[in-house]
Structure 1
Amino acid sequence: MEIIKDKANNTETIQEQKLQELLKYLSENSPFYKRLFAEHNVDVAAVKKVADLTLIPVTTKDDLQKYNDDFLCVPAENIVEYMSTSGTLGSPVTIALTDSDLDRLAYNEYNSFLCAGGTKHDLYQLMLTLDRQFMAGIAYYSGIRKLGAGMVRLGPGVPALQWETIKRLKPTTIVAVPSFILKLIQFAKETNIDISQTSIKKAICIGENIRNTDFSLNILGKKITEAWDIQLFSTYASTEMQTAFTECAEGKGGHYQPELLIVELLDESDQPVGPNTPGEVTITTLGIQGMPLLRYKTGDMCMYFDEPCACGRTSLRLSSIIGRKKQMIKFKGTTLYPPALFDLLNEREEILDFVIEVYSNEIGLDQVALYLVPADDSEECDHRIRAYLQARLRVSPHIKYLSVEEIQKIQFSEVSRKPIKFIDKRA
């Protein structure tokens, strides 16, 4: 993959130096990578440039799940925090952080908030959990502290309390899952809250796409901005990479932090793709002590853009997630990714909420079930929903209507940290 040169920071040289330090560190301290290097006869001294990374085999989610403890590079007494992945693509993985790793996490999110126009004069209302081993929560908290801004740690859910706090403390920015912002808007309508008169100017959107790959707002993003005149900033991150890609005010993709990460987008043969071409996001972490990763395939499919941004930043930018590789659905001859289905379902006023479930039938083919909360129980509403899905998908998934309470029991299990809208029950 081409590395975009930033003349001011000499990005390419910095990455090469940090990459060589990482390879030496892994060859001395990582049980997993010691074994990988030996099994594949990898000479780490021969890897001098980012382009040389193709000499090293990729690491997969399966590796991290199967050999989780073997990725640890420091004694247990050096670990100050244990985080975990959400388990979207399988069983959760534990990520161990040292004190230095927590500092790096704060620096990462500090950069992200700066990128999204944040200043020390902002007040952020955090509508997400800071417990349950959730890395994003502590990352936002630490980044805001480093920024010198104020924050309100309110947690997820409870629209009434969110609005009461907004009215009382007057935050300028919210950090929330986009679908929850829609619920805030709906609650405001039902209770006659004039959202145009509130203090909120921006929303940092986490966990869900708000844009299409051409940077235009998708249905979810449009629904929010049509009802509420606030600026949306999209983000992309994962627990494993301990780094975020965050939009600037231009809204043209998530900005790369090359001093913290090397990113490759790979094709089916694990070869780098060019700009504007879908590929699997594959990351090499820089500056991590506890559990650094080398050529780790995230499972997320994105595109990258290498032309300089109008904001002045010259490093590459990532598109929104096209889909997750393991979540691709082949349904009656049609290829679907969950984000595309989310857009379809978010578009209809007749559908208030939803969960998508995919499972295998008796001969191993993908089947799709939609659990929907309809606007009403009428036959007319049902007919409009089914006709719309047939027209847009060309196929008819199984539909089951649920109440708000029933859908929330599915979306928020005892261990979930964000609403679950896609369930994969395939073998």
Structure 2
Amino acid sequence: MWGIPRFRSTLCATYQGYGTADLGCVAYECTERRGFHLALSVIVEILDPETGDNLPDGEPGEVVVTVMEPLYPLIRFGTGDLGMMLTDPCSCGRPARRLAGIFGRTADGVKVRGLFLYPHQIEALEDRIPEIRFCQAVVTTSDFRDVLTLKVDSVDGIDPDALKGKVAREAKACLRLTSAVEIVTADSFGDNKRKVVDLRNWE
């Protein structure tokens, strides 16, 4: 399959960029490949998808871009992409701020107890705990309160109680939400392989 890893290994050094048809180039990789430097022609903000408030660096939200072109200005153009600003300087020496990358679409997230929960956060949790084969976040309600349950399929030979405690601790750090943890088998997910499942009844 031809893709960026194949091009890099067989042809020449390749670098990714981020942009849209309306905005043009928004950000680009440098030789360090540690995020995307913002182009000098754009102003990028990370906003809360629901309130429109500016979010601090290191917190994911919608990538909103302003381009002050005389013939085609775009003011606070909402891309619908989910991104995050990095806080540390790049070792390449460029002073431009950097996007960590694009994690998905804002529509992929659900709000739980006032905080957005996105699939990429569950993937990050899986990366932090090698004992997890697959993890799914399920959101329900009880007594009019949101309940977050992490259903975990683990590798063989793992102490389930120890894994529950580890997942709960890492989830609080990763998601900033407390959660119940259930150790389940792979077949309990059926065909539903989504990372975040919202089962709340809004009627």
Same fold flag (TM > 0.5): yes
**Aligned length, in residue pairs:** 187
Provide the C-alpha distance between the structure 2 equivalents of 1:352 and 1:401, rounded to a whole number of angstroms: 11
Q: Which residue of 2 aligns with 1:366?
A: 146
Distance 1:271 1:424, change over 3 A: closer
Partner SS, residue 113 of structure 2 = strand
Q: Which residue of 1 aligns with 2:192?
A: 410
Q: Which residue of 2 aligns with 1:250?
A: 32
Verify: 1:346 aligned to 2:127, yes or no. yes
1:235–1:247 CA contact under 8 A, matched in 2: yes
Q: Which residue of 2 aligns with 1:80?
A: none
Provide the C-alpha distance between the structure 2 equivalents of 1:306 and 1:249, rounded to a whole number of angstroms: 16
**Which structure has the highest helix share of the two?**
1
Larger Rg: 1
Q: Which residue of 2 aligns with 1:125?
A: 2
**Which structure has the highest strand share of the two?**
2
Q: Which residue of 2 aligns with 1:422?
A: 196
Partner SS, residue 295 of structure 1 = strand
Q: Which residue of 2 aligns with 1:302?
A: 84
2:151–2:183 CA contact under 8 A, matched in 1: yes
* Structure 2: segments with no counterpart, 5+ residues: 173-177
Q: Which residue of 2 aligns with 1:263?
A: 44
* Structure 1: segments with no counterpart, 5+ residues: 1-123, 127-139, 141-150, 152-170, 174-198, 205-232, 412-419
With structure 2 as the length reference, what TM-score do the two structures score? 0.58
1:303–1:319 CA contact under 8 A, matched in 2: yes
2:44–2:65 CA contact under 8 A, matched in 1: yes
Distance 1:363 1:237, change over 3 A: farther
1:266–1:281 CA contact under 8 A, matched in 2: yes
Provide the C-alpha distance between the structure 1 equivalents of 2:22 and 2:189, rounded to a whole number of angstroms: 29
Deviation at 1:265, TM superposition (A): 3.7
Distance 1:389 1:271, change over 3 A: closer
Partner SS, residue 125 of structure 1 = coil
Distance 1:283 1:248, change over 3 A: same
Provide the C-alpha distance between the structure 1 equivalents of 2:13 and 2:128, rounded to a whole number of angstroms: 21
% of aligned pairs identical?
A: 22
Provide the C-alpha distance between the structure 2 equivalents of 1:358 and 1:241, rounded to a whole number of angstroms: 36
Provide the C-alpha distance between the structure 2 equivalents of 1:408 and 1:239, rounded to a whole number of angstroms: 38
2:168–2:181 CA contact under 8 A, matched in 1: no
Distance 1:406 1:306, change over 3 A: closer
CA offsets per residue over residues 210-259 of structure 1, 9 Å max, x none? xxxxxxxxxxxxxxxxxxxxxxx887678986756443232443122344
